[in-house]
């Protein structure tokens, strides 16, 4: 399996274009921007994510000797071109929205300015990294909004589309406001709190539930969460209550019981009654089982006595929307604005800035997309910030916990209609007059040939 850091983790056409650029001597400065073309009905906004991994990739990008040998063996490339690739590095600039920024269609999430071959080559891996985490963060934040104040844990590794996807999905979910993850690699790499209980197989492997619960509690005395629905959820709850004295003798507190099947609202109510009657009112109830934001919202609205949820498949695969219509397009080359005119895929030319217009209380009331060197509306805040110059980060990225806290604050300021799952009035994104004028100018020049 290819290393995630390999320069060959790209599309063939990136290299065929680079060889063409070399033959044509095309190395002038190019400006590319990544943006979401349109938002589907399932999303009122998206959450920018994945920038940290992109900057890692750009700083480390190079072709190893074995990779160049393999490219030579394909017979597709000139020897002189491959010799040049030996010294290929990214030496350009990146301006980007901070991770955790709430953003909308037609807004560049990031801008790359570099020699054309460099800016072109990174396209495939750039989209691969930023799209995944933006997609997952945008799904996970809906769960956070649907179940405010509840513990949410990423349970999605086993359904993620590969090893890297599992780890990065956990990162994106934590950025979006999840409490933690069950994926250990994400805990180690990103410092995300890790959570874990037991599987039904642990209970089945024992002679009975009572023995399984006691065995688990003695082996994990500081983290006792017991899975009680292997056979019968009410009987499982009664077994936990029956062990209360034994747990107390060992100084063990049962943090929670977990329900993974059935009618979670009804099951949680019945289990809550059993626990309370047994003197275990401080033991929480944690639920899982193919949950999504809509089910969370229904459970919360129904007043289900559930303290936390494990969210897996639907979040980690963004089940209802498995991809975003995003693109990385050339907006300027050799000092001249460029515009794609393909039907349904028209772009705005030139390098751009996104300005967030705020009311007196700091709440967003609309965005304006302008040319990068144009002044923004009075009091508006520019969203694209310089993060890399000449191929090097300008500063270490903010800690993930800081980005997470900033997003939670931003969510609290969003208009109510954007926070609701059902949606509402569209958030206004205006295209500045000077940008429209530039587009008209490019169109006239194109028409004139």
Distance from the Cα of residue 40 to its chain's centroid: 17
- The pLDDT assigned to 424 comes to 67
- The pLDDT assigned to 2 comes to 57
Overall average pLDDT of the 317-325 stretch: 96
Q: In what order do the strands lie in the sheet with 326-333?
A: 336-337, 326-333, 29-36, 108-115, 93-96, 385-389, 392-393
CA-only gyration radius of the chain, Å? 26
What is the DSSP code (8-state) at residue 375?
P
Overall average pLDDT of the 404-422 stretch: 94
CA distance 114 to 94: 9
pLDDT digits (tens, 9 = 90+) for 198-253: 999 999 999 999 999 999 999 999 999 999 999 999 999 999 999 999 999 999 99
- The pLDDT assigned to 376 comes to 93
CA distance 130 to 48: 8
- The pLDDT assigned to 339 comes to 95
Q: Name, in order, each residue with C-beta under 8 angstroms of 246's C-beta and a sequence gap of 6 or more.
A: 214
**Whether the predicted pLDDT of 422 surpasses 90:** no
- The pLDDT assigned to 166 comes to 98
Q: In what order do the strands lie in the sheet with 352-358?
A: 381-382, 352-358, 364-371, 429-431
Q: Indicate the pLDDT class of residue 42, thresholds 50, 70 and 90.
A: confident
Mean per-residue pLDDT over the chain, rounded = 96
Q: Indicate the pLDDT class of residue 3, thresholds 50, 70 and 90.
A: confident
**Whether the predicted pLDDT of 1 surpasses 90:** no
- 305 phi, psi to nearest 5 deg: -80, 65
Based on the number of CB atoms within 10 Å of its own CB, is 87 exposed (0-12), middle (13-18) or buried (19 or more)? Answer: exposed
CA distance 441 to 132: 35
Overall average pLDDT of the 120-144 stretch: 98
CA distance 239 to 209: 7
Residue 174: closest CA among 430, 404, 427: 404
**Whether the predicted pLDDT of 331 surpasses 90:** yes
Residue given tokens 């290299």 in the structure block: 15
Q: Indicate the pLDDT class of residue 369, thresholds 50, 70 and 90.
A: very high
Q: Indicate the pLDDT class of residue 40, thresholds 50, 70 and 90.
A: confident
Enter the pTM of the model: 0.96
Overall average pLDDT of the 362-390 stretch: 96
Overall average pLDDT of the 53-62 stretch: 98
Percent of the chain with pLDDT over 90: 94
């Amino acid at each position: 399996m290819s290393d995630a850091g390999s320069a060959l983790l790209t599309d063939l056409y990136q290299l065929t274009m680079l060889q063409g650029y070399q033959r044509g001597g095309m190395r002038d400065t190019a400006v590319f921007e990544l943006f979401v073309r349109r938002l589907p009905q399932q999303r009122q906004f998206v959450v920018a994510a994945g920038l940290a991994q992109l900057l890692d990739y750009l700083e480390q990008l190079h072709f190893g000797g074995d990779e160049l040998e393999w490219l030579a063996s394909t017979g597709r490339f000139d020897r002189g071109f491959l010799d040049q690739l030996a010294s290929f590095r990214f030496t350009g600039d990146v301006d980007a929205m901070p991770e955790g920024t709430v953003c909308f269609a037609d807004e560049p999430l990031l801008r790359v300015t570099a020699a054309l071959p460099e800016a072109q080559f990174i396209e495939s891996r750039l989209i691969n990294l930023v799209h995944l985490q933006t997609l997952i963060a945008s799904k996970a934040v809906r769960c956070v909004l649907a179940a405010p104040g509840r513990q949410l844990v990423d349970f999605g590794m086993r359904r993620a589309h590969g090893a890297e996807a599992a780890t990065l999905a956990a990162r994106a979910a934590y950025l979006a406001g999840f409490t933690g993850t069950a994926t250990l690699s994400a805990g180690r790499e990103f410092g995300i709190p890790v959570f874990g209980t037991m599987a039904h197989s642990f209970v089945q492997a024992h002679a009975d539930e009572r023995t399984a619960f006691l065995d688990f509690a003695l082996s994990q005395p500081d983290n006792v969460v017991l899975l009680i629905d292997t056979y019968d959820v009410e009987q499982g709850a009664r077994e936990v209550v029956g062990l209360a004295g034994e747990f107390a003798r060992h100084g063990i507190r049962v943090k929670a019981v977990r329900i993974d099947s059935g009618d979670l609202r009804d099951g949680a109510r019945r289990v809550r009654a059993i626990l309370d009657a047994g003197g275990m009112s401080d033991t929480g109830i944690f639920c899982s089982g193919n949950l999504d934001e809509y089910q969370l919202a229904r459970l919360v609205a129904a007043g289900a006595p559930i303290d936390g949820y494990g969210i897996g498949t639907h979040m980690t695969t963004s089940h209802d929307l498995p991809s975003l219509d995003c693109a990385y397009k050339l907006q300027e080359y050799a000092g001249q604005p460029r515009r794609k005119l393909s039907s349904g895929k028209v772009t705005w030319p030139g390098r751009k800035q996104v300005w967030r217009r705020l009311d007196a209380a700091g709440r967003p009331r609309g965005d304006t997309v302008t040319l990068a060197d144009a002044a923004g509306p009075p009091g508006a805040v520019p969203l694209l910030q310089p993060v890399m110059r000449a191929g090097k980060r300008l500063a270490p990225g903010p800690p993930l916990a800081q980005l997470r806290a900033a997003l939670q604050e931003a969510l609290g300021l969003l208009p109510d209609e954007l926070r609701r799952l059902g949606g509402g009035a569209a958030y206004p994104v205006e295209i500045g007059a000077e940008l429209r004028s530039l587009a008209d100018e490019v169109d006239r020049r194109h028409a004139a040939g």
